[in-house]
Amino acid sequence: MKRALLPLVLVLAAASTAHADGPTIPRFVEDTKSSGLHSVYKGEWQYMVGGGVATFDCNGDGFPDLYIAGGENPAKLYVNTSKKGGPLKFAEAKSGAELKQVTGAYPVDIDGDGIMDLVVLRVGQSKIFRGLGHCKFEDVTAKWNVDGGDAWATAFSATWEKGNRWPTLAFGTYIDRAFENEPWGHCTDNWLLRPNEGQAGFGPRIALKPSYCALSMLFTDWNRSGTPSLRVANDREYYEGGQEQLWKVNPGEAPRLYTADEGWKFQRFWGMGIAAADLTGNGYNAYFTTSMADQRLQFLSDGPQKPSFKDAPFTMGTSAHRPFTGGDQRPSTGWHAQFEDVNNDGLWDLFIAKGNVDKMPDFAQKDPSNLLLQQADGSFVEGAEKAGLINFGEARGAAVADFNLDGKMDVLIVNRHENVRLWRGVSPHLGHWLGLRLNGDGANRDGIGAWIELKEGEKLVRREITVGGGHVSGINSWWHFGLGDQAQAQLRVIWPDGTAGDWQDVKADGFYFLQRGKPPAPFMPR
């Protein structure tokens, strides 16, 4: 019965701003050739997964910059030189973080100095680079006592546990590289690093056993308890006897898995990437996990007391199980996933990067990435082809972000064996929007673990601020909200310690810094 009622719940949440005659189709043009981006994710067996991008502002001008994994090629940092509303332009810059064997990266201000740091995942030793400002970085892996391992790193997430000034870091790994000819059953350990409080750096590695070839991790407060748990997507292709996982990570306690007795349901599939959004307006995230064949969208089914999740009905249109164009009808392979409102109608849409693993004959070779647009009844329809966003490359990581700060979302895709691709949003008629960033003092300056809430007329839209998820691709930039026909909104922040700020009025179509106890501070792009 609860499953049957789910679409109705979505209708009630969505009806206030969406168009009854179908979603507005956004428009994109490809800027790759003129963008200045020249980065190829290269490599075979040890690089068949991975291929991500970190999206963040490394020079303080407000425009999102890029650190792109290269696999066997060096990773590259690109400074955003775009003008507001103009074509997307980037310039390669020497950063101090030029490394080979990089699979992905995540931006996070670890030491709380207001300058973004980089967690760099690698085949071999993963590293941490401290941001020095002006897009320069120094390797602090040894200085901060970071055990970067010697593994095939494929997942990462971070959270701030209560009372800590530095974050807890989670690293996920894939197959033991010594078993290339017989990889099945040879997943290597994932681990946590907790901070050494009272001094800079981290304590010894805490193994997360059992580990099952993780391809994505996300610290997320699934039950709004104020203490995030660690959700892990695992690739069943190579583990033996494993499953999807949810780890309870309580401050001062050893991490442990949620059990079936507590409500966690046994499930196995080819878990690749994780994305989260409050789709129903009930205050709790739904979780989307990419896979081979059906993708999984799941909703909390029994309230916050149990981590029980139920699959969305097929009629919601989120399974994205076969290519929607190109003529190949074999099952799809999903990787990076990201919820964003790409048409600014006040509803979360969903981008999914797609691509065959490595000429696997049972799965589609021509496997276009999806742009699923949410409709007024809560279901999703494919919009990529009409939007001009077609990619048949072997996509892995990606970023959906506003690179030229015009309120229209742009898309970057990292493909294996070829240059990245970049599309600019050019829709002439979209809804109103906001771009928001949290600006705290001291520890956790970016408010990881906070929730931003917006009142859009009678509708309440929420977003959890996280580091992790997707596939080896992290974003720490402006948090985008579509407002539909609302020319202004009220917003507040529920900070990571649970303190709720006051509701404050903001005008639409602008960028604002949000700081505890202060009114929203406008930011004007150059």
Between CA 204 and CA 496 the distance in angstroms is 25
Tokens 């980089």, residue located: 118
| Three-state secondary structure call for residue 194 | coil
Instruction: Judge contact between 446 and 484, C-beta under 8 A.
Output: no
Q: Give the β-pairing of 102-108 and 90-93.
A: unpaired
Q: Per the structure block, which two tokens stand in for 88?
A: 């997307």
User: Which residues are within 8 A (CB) of 165 and not within 5 positions of it... i.e. 6 or more apart?
Assistant: 112, 195, 197, 442, 443
Among residues 259, 262, 300, the alpha carbon closest in space to that of 283 is found at 300
- 233, containing H or E segment: strand 229-234
Strand order in the sheet with 274-277: 274-277, 286-289, 296-300, 309-311
Q: What is the largest CA-CA distance in the chain?
A: 60
Between CA 24 and CA 122 the distance in angstroms is 40
Determine whether 204 is exposed, middle or buried from the number of CB atoms within 10 Å of its CB (0-12, 13-18, 19+).
exposed
Between CA 99 and CA 72 the distance in angstroms is 9
User: Which residues are within 8 A (CB) of 193 and not within 5 positions of it... i.e. 6 or more apart?
Assistant: 146, 147, 168, 169, 171, 202, 203, 205, 206
Provide the pLDDT for residue 19.
Answer: 56
Between CA 398 and CA 475 the distance in angstroms is 10
In this structure, how many other beta carbons lie within 10 angstroms of the beta carbon of residue 326? 14
Parts of the chain with a pLDDT under 70: 1-20
pLDDT tens per residue across span 258-294: 999 999 999 999 999 999 999 999 999 999 999 999 8
pLDDT tens per residue across span 74-114: 999 999 999 999 999 999 999 999 999 999 999 999 999 99
Which residues does residue 275 pair with via DSSP β-bridges, in sequence order? 288
Between CA 369 and CA 52 the distance in angstroms is 15
Between CA 270 and CA 213 the distance in angstroms is 10
Q: Give the β-pairing of 510-514 and 432-438.
A: parallel
**pTM score, whole prediction:** 0.95
Q: CA separation (Å) from 253 to 161, 247, 248? A: 11, 12, 9
Among residues 303, 239, 307, 304, the alpha carbon closest in space to that of 268 is found at 239
Exposure string over 72-85, b if 16+ CB within 10 A, otherwise e: ebebbbbbbebeee
Angle subtended at Cα 233 by Cα 232 and Cα 237, rounded to the nearest 5 degrees: 135
Strand order in the sheet with 28-30: 28-30, 421-425, 410-415, 395-401
